[in-house]
Chain A
Amino acid sequence: MSDRHRPFAPDTGRDFADDAAREQRHGVLIELLGAYVDRELPAETVSQIDAHLLGCARCRGEVAVHEAVRARLAVEPPRAPSPALRERIAGALDALPAPVAAPEVERATVAPAPRRRPALLAWGVAGLALVLALLAGATRWEAWRASAAAVPELAVPARSVPLLDAVLGDYRRATAGDLPGRARDLAAVREAVPFPVEPMRSPSLRLLAAWTTDLRGEPAAVLAYRYGDRLVVQYVVSEGAFFRDPAVRGAVASHHLLVASDGAQAVVAWPAPASALLLVGDVPARELAAVRAGED
């Protein structure tokens, strides 16, 4: 039998108790060989293992296995993310509000050679700036909500306007079952329509899905968002399709925003630089208008 099969080769005259002690030590050390290879053990333990390895072929074999596996995995290549994934992530982040800048404050406290008073001062200044920014944001938000809520609803029934009729019908069909697309389809949607498609950036919206549809024979991009516990859907259409109807033109010319309701659903619509957008949801019209206002 070679010493490969037993931790220690037979040694004429070796004391049985000594062998048993070494066997016991072997049982302990063999469990540490991974950490030994990884240099995660204290120097004293490393020395003990070094000494043990001299007389233990099985543990030398075990070390060789650890080293071989570790060396192979170390050259396992990463997987480069596609440009589409990068764009999807950027789009998803764009649709979210900026997080509270606590890390900046935290980093100020661990800057080199901080003195207690300046550190406290930095906390105070940063905190004050944050409060001012939040107050300014809140003030602007309230102004937006007020102006959006002041926009009167469309004078004619929504379903009498062909574009709104098509959008409301499509919305009801799409939301009656599983959503047709996923958020990661945004890049494909952008490629499929001849106008720019940008997700909304309202803090209250989170992009869930994107797909394309057909509205009265013209392509449209559809983006579905989570809005609290509800769903709202954004339609992006061409400028031509949007301004074709006189009711739409009139509302936008007067208020820069069209607001309409049809039963439980509401629509708000507005022109964009090279397209037009309609936001639909089972949400009161004024609330939907406020969501659009928070998107600027």
Chain B
Amino acid sequence: MSPTSPDAAAAAAAAATRARFDALVLPHLDRLLAFARRRTESLADAEDAVQEACVRAWIGFGELRDDVKVRPWLYRILRTALADAREKNGRRSQLVSITRLEQAHDELLGGDENAVFAEVVARLSSEVVHLALAEIPEDFAVAVELHDIDGFKYVEIAEIVGVPIGTVMSRIARGRKLLAGAVRANQGAWAAAGWAARSGTTTTTNPSRRVRPGGRS
């Protein structure tokens, strides 16, 4: 094959496209995997979802019009892949008792413990953070995570989730309140179950959603 033949040109173009894809997408695998892991029952399921998202992203790479928007584009694809996997596996989101969490949040603001709440939250282990996020409705958790963990702006979250920016604002505000309520309501139970604070003793148990009836699937 001559270096200047159409075959060589096509091969070079394909290689360049793949290199550009790798450069744009692969640096975000860690965040995508963490996002997927928080809404799957196992690491293997999360990895499958990320792989499926990468395949879909590659197939639809021509749709990416602006490299700067690759992150929201990838998250949108991953959310679709996760939703498809959830439907395929027959899992459904479970209803969450919002009233109980709102009451816990109100008690938090009405009592003296509000002064030390920031310190308590700062010391939460990742396991407890994941448990708390699993306690609140999926839509609220997604909005809060996309902003606070993954660093998206409101307008980007609106694009990823496909809702108006006012809805994003409302979901983040309410999601954080419910998250605080979840921490307050479950703090004792989680501590008794061995979920350690970041500065406390370590735990080796995996906070899988499978072993925690009543959580979001």
* Residues of A bordering B, CB below 8 Å: 4-5, 31-35, 38, 40, 58, 61-62, 64-74, 76-82, 85-86, 88-89, 92-93, 96, 98-104, 106-107, 110, 129, 132-133, 135-137, 140, 182-184
Residue in contact with B55 in the complex, picked from A66, A71, A92, CB distance below 8 Å = A92
Q: Which residue, of B30, B117, B148, B169, has the highest number of chain A Cβ atoms within 10 A?
A: B148
Is the CB of B145 closer than 8 A to any CB of chain A? yes
Q: How far is the CA of A78 from the CA of B66 in the complex (A)?
A: 25
CA distance A78 to B28 in the complex (A): 9
* Secondary structure dominating the interface of B: helix
Complex partner residue of B59 from A82, A89, A99, CB under 8 angstroms: A99
**Given A78-B30, A78-B33, A79-B33: A101 and B62 interface contact (C-beta under 8 Å):** yes
Q: Given known contacts A73-B144, A98-B14, A183-B51, what 19 new A-B pairs fall within 8 Å (CB)?
A: A38-B154, A40-B153, A61-B109, A65-B180, A68-B122, A71-B122, A73-B145, A79-B34, A81-B50, A89-B29, A89-B54, A92-B51, A93-B58, A99-B62, A101-B16, A103-B64, A103-B67, A107-B67, A135-B6
Residue of B nearest to A31 (CB): B173
Counting chain A CB atoms within 10 Å of each CB, the highest count among B20, B176, B177 belongs to: B176
B169 & A4 in contact (Cβ 8 Å cutoff): no
Contact of B54 among A34, A40, A64, A92 (CB under 8 A): A92
Partner of A33 from the list B20, B105, B173 (CB cut-off 8 Å) is B173
Q: Which one, B117, B129, B176, contacts A76 given CB within 8 A? A: B129
Expressed in whole angstroms, the minimum distance between the Cβ of A124 and any Cβ of chain B is 16
Contact, CB under 8 Å: B51 / A73: no
Distance (Å) between the CB of B7 and the closest chain A CB? 6
Q: Which of B26, B61, B67 contacts A86 (CB 8 A)?
A: B26
Report the nearest A residue to B169, measured CB to CB.
A35
- Give the contacts of B85-114 with A (CB-CB under 8 A): 105, 108-110, 114
Q: Which one, A4, A69, A70, A99, contacts B17 given CB within 8 A? A: A99
B interface residue numbers (CB < 8 A to A): 5-7, 9-10, 13-14, 16-18, 20-21, 26, 29-31, 33-34, 37, 44, 46-48, 50-51, 54-55, 58-67, 105, 108-110, 114, 117-118, 121-122, 124, 126, 129, 144-145, 147-149, 151, 153-154, 169-170, 172-173, 176-177, 179-180
Instruction: Determine the chain B residues whose CB is within 8 A of the CB of A98 once the complex forms.
Output: 13-14, 17-18
Contacts of A79 in B (CB 8 A): 30, 33-34, 37, 46
List, in ascending order, chain A residues with CB within 8 A of B129's CB.
72-73, 76
B149 CB to closest chain A CB, in angstroms?
Answer: 5
Instruction: Using CB atoms, name the residue of chain B closest to A40.
Output: B154
Q: A73-B148, A74-B148, A106-B65 are in contact. Are A34 and B122 (CB under 8 A)?
A: no
Known: A73-B129, A86-B26, A101-B13. Is A65-B6 also a contact (CB below 8 A)? no
Determine the chain B residues whose CB is within 8 A of the CB of A86 once the complex forms.
26, 29
| The 4 nearest A-B residue pairs measured at CB | A34-B173, A136-B6, A73-B148, A78-B30
Interface centre among A70, A72, A96 (most CB of B within 10 A): A72
Collect the chain A residues with CB atoms within 8 Å of residue B63's CB. 102
Choice from B9, B110, B114 contacting A133 with Cβ under 8 Å? B9
Contacts of A96 in B (CB 8 A): 55, 58-59
- A110–B63 Cα distance when bound, in Å, is 15
Least CB distance, B24 to chain A, in whole angstroms: 9
Are the CB atoms of A65 and B117 closer together than 8 Å? Answer: yes
Give the distance in Å from the alpha carbon of A34 to the alpha carbon of B165 in the complex: 13
Cβ contacts under 8 Å, B6 to chain A: 132-133, 135-136
* Smallest CB gap from A76: residue in B: B149
Who on chain B is nearest to A93 by CB? Answer: B58
| Cβ A78 vs Cβ B31 within 8 A | yes
Contact yes or no, A93 B65, CB < 8 A:
no
Residues of the B chain whose Cβ atoms lie less than 8 Å from the Cβ of A137: 7, 10
